[in-house]
Copies of this chain bind each other. A is one copy, B any other.
Amino acid sequence: MTYQVIFQPSGNRGKIEAEQSLLDAARTLSVELESVCGGAGVCGKCKVKIMEGYFTRYDVFSTQDHLTPPTSEEIELLEEEERKEGFRLACLSRIQGDLVIYIPPEVERAKQLILEEGREREFNLRPSVEGVYQELPAPTLQDNRGDAERLKEPLAEERGLNLFIDYAVLQELPGVLRAENFHVLTDVWQEKEIVRVMPAQKTRPRRYGLAVDIGTTTVAAYLCDLDSGETRAQASNVNAQVAYGEDIISRITFCGQKAGNRKTMQRLIVDTVNELAQKVTAEVGGDTDDIIDATFVCNSVMHHLFLGLDPQNLGGSPFVPASKGPLNIKARDLNLRMNGAAYIHALPLIAGYVGADNVALLIAEEPHKKEKLGLYIDIGTNGEVDLGNKEGINCTSCATGPALEGAQIAFGMRAAPGAIEKVEIDPETLDPTFKIIGQEEWYPEKIDTPARGICGSGIIDVVAQMYKAGIIDQSGRFDKNRENPRVRQGRTNRMEYVLAWASETGQKRDVVINQQDIRSVQLAKAALFVGAEILLEQRRVQLPEFIVLAGAFGNFINRESALALGMFPPCKPEDIYSVGNAAGDGARLALLDREKRNEALQVAREVRFVETARDESFQARFIEALAFPQNIRKMY
């Protein structure tokens, strides 16, 4: 003998053997239910409410007797008030008939899950959009409430929700309600608004969320399943705004030049995001309309450009954003290719130069929950540096310039096939060996993929190796007396080191690293170092207990090379962790766990932003930090 059991609000349902406990039924039907004692009937946590007359409003029936009567233990564990309201303990109630069970939010256990890519991160699956299954009574002459009221009233009565209905949802509501005889799946955003209603058909509708990480150069999008918490697809692409300038300042300038330019910039980045949304949903055979929630992170300027906010005041002191707080914007107001009624959530900014991407890093890495003092470095055109633990977080932004991303370097390029990513130099012969992206073997063992240029991690390596080999000295100057064909005066009288000969690479010119390139790296690493140093000083400590390198760059960098250059405070290489795209992880966490959005707001408010450039000693320290560390050369 089996009975039909339906769990609300999830709508999970199935036939359950008679005499099974409700707790067993919940497990069978994949309903998460808190039960501290594991079903022993002692903790009293697994309170559920037995619904009455839910199937049809005017045909009230009781399902109380579809369960075994309460035992004396159960009576003791529940308040009299609760029992009157129809509450039972799931572990002590056995099924004897068809049932509709409501699980109150405090009892529904959030699924503990692991975010797969990058660093492993545990999170609770509590998306902002919650799906509720509803079987509504069909209207009659006696019950001719409006469709909107029919949909909302049970949610108000049973769950105390006072909901808006999205305008576009309301327009089509009559047809949707009647498609499956008033059985619907209702998507509720933040317990505030109904953002989708679908006829409850046999196959469950897909509920996707999109997490977007908008970089100045690269945009990454992750498609997540809001019901399972899995990341189903991901893709990245170049930010189409690059056509209007590699750096953010030139984009701000462009926006200010003519009315309409800001709209142009917004359209470009929206197009990039839309292409990615299209791509990731197509990959799983879905539809962009199934994207019913979204989050995005980015630096403050990209935040403004994506939302179409006037960015002019981010371009000069005191660097004031149009809005720092978190924002929820309707997808259709941004012309985003997702369900028009969905909200896209912008994580908060910290300051004009420390954006939501840094907030996302913080909620992913959670320094505010750790005892140990960590230094978190996210390198881009601007490097963001955070130093903190439980007792507080300080952060700053360092104008590293684009050198560490491979830009403004003679042969610099992005990390793409053909880029030299790792370098070693023989201190005697000064002959290099290197690894090119797209080819397993090291050069010169094999030369399949011609070296087109050098990317960020390769630049760090080559400069460190040049220092180690004595091609450059501590101040970064070339040793003009070094007699070696690879060390020479280039065309513009600049000293340069030949990393690969034209004949070897299939290029028209030799691939070289010149004096100017060394200077760019020095400027970048000094900015980063001084930022970290000032933060450490404020905390009155000498060194962090560990260093976290975030971003794609952090994944590929050779820690020893970075230490040799003095990019960050000396730290044992084993205490340096590369965590991948932590900002993207933070965007996904905020998508899958709504509590992470509150945490982001809290963190953004509490982080102390330090304007390092305003530190009196900054200039002197900066000049000092341009040199390479003295003793590293030996240590290394």
Hey, which chain B residues are within 8 Å of A339, CB to CB? none
Nearest-Cβ distance from residue A299 to partner chain B, whole angstroms: 14
Is the beta-carbon distance between A171 and B310 smaller than 8 angstroms?
yes
In the bound complex, how far is the Cα of B171 from the Cα of A143, in angstroms? 45
In the bound complex, how far is the Cα of B125 from the Cα of A368, in angstroms? 51
Is the beta-carbon distance between A321 and B147 smaller than 8 angstroms?
yes
Copies in the complex: 2
Other than the given A141-B317, A148-B323, 10 more pairs (CB < 8 A) read: A143-B318, A144-B319, A144-B351, A146-B323, A146-B324, A149-B323, A167-B307, A171-B307, A173-B310, A173-B323
Is the beta-carbon distance between B320 and A175 smaller than 8 angstroms?
no
Hey, which chain B residues are within 8 Å of A53, CB to CB? none
Is the beta-carbon distance between A145 and B320 smaller than 8 angstroms?
yes
1/0 contact string of A250-270 vs chain B (CB within 8 Å): 000000000000000000000
1/0 contact string of A149-173 vs chain B (CB within 8 Å): 1000000000000000101001111
Q: A352 interface residue, CB < 8 Å from B?
A: yes
Hey, which chain B residues are within 8 Å of A139, CB to CB? 313, 318, 320
Q: Which residue of B lies closest to A176 (CB)?
A: B310
Tell which of B144, B178, B312, B614 touches A318, judged by Cβ atoms closer than 8 Å. B144
Also in contact, A320 and B170, with CB within 8 A (given A310-B175, A312-B175): no
Is the beta-carbon distance between A325 and B149 smaller than 8 angstroms?
yes
Nearest-Cβ distance from residue A550 to partner chain B, whole angstroms: 24
Q: Which residue of B lies closest to A146 (CB)?
A: B324
Q: A574 interface residue, CB < 8 Å from B?
A: no
In the bound complex, how far is the Cα of B597 from the Cα of A20, in angstroms? 53
In the bound complex, how far is the Cα of B316 from the Cα of A178, in angstroms? 14
Hey, which chain B residues are within 8 Å of A470, CB to CB? none
Is the beta-carbon distance between A146 and B321 smaller than 8 angstroms?
yes
Tell which of B307, B320, B611 touches A174, judged by Cβ atoms closer than 8 Å. B320
Nearest-Cβ distance from residue A166 to partner chain B, whole angstroms: 10
Is the beta-carbon distance between A324 and B174 smaller than 8 angstroms?
no
From 573 to 625 in chain A, residues with beta carbon under 8 angstroms from any chain B beta carbon are 611, 614
Is the beta-carbon distance between A144 and B323 smaller than 8 angstroms?
no
From 313 to 364 in chain A, residues with beta carbon under 8 angstroms from any chain B beta carbon are 313, 317-325, 327, 329-330, 333, 349, 351-352
Q: Which residue of B lies closest to A173 (CB)?
A: B322
Also in contact, A313 and B611, with CB within 8 A (given A167-B333, A308-B171): no
Q: A203 interface residue, CB < 8 Å from B?
A: no
Hey, which chain B residues are within 8 Å of A149, CB to CB? 323-325
Q: A112 interface residue, CB < 8 Å from B?
A: no
In the bound complex, how far is the Cα of B144 from the Cα of A611, in angstroms? 11
Q: A77 interface residue, CB < 8 Å from B?
A: no
In the bound complex, how far is the Cα of B317 from the Cα of A425, in angstroms? 86
Hey, which chain B residues are within 8 Å of A171, CB to CB? 307-310, 322
Q: A481 interface residue, CB < 8 Å from B?
A: no
From 278 to 320 in chain A, residues with beta carbon under 8 angstroms from any chain B beta carbon are 307-310, 312-313, 317-320
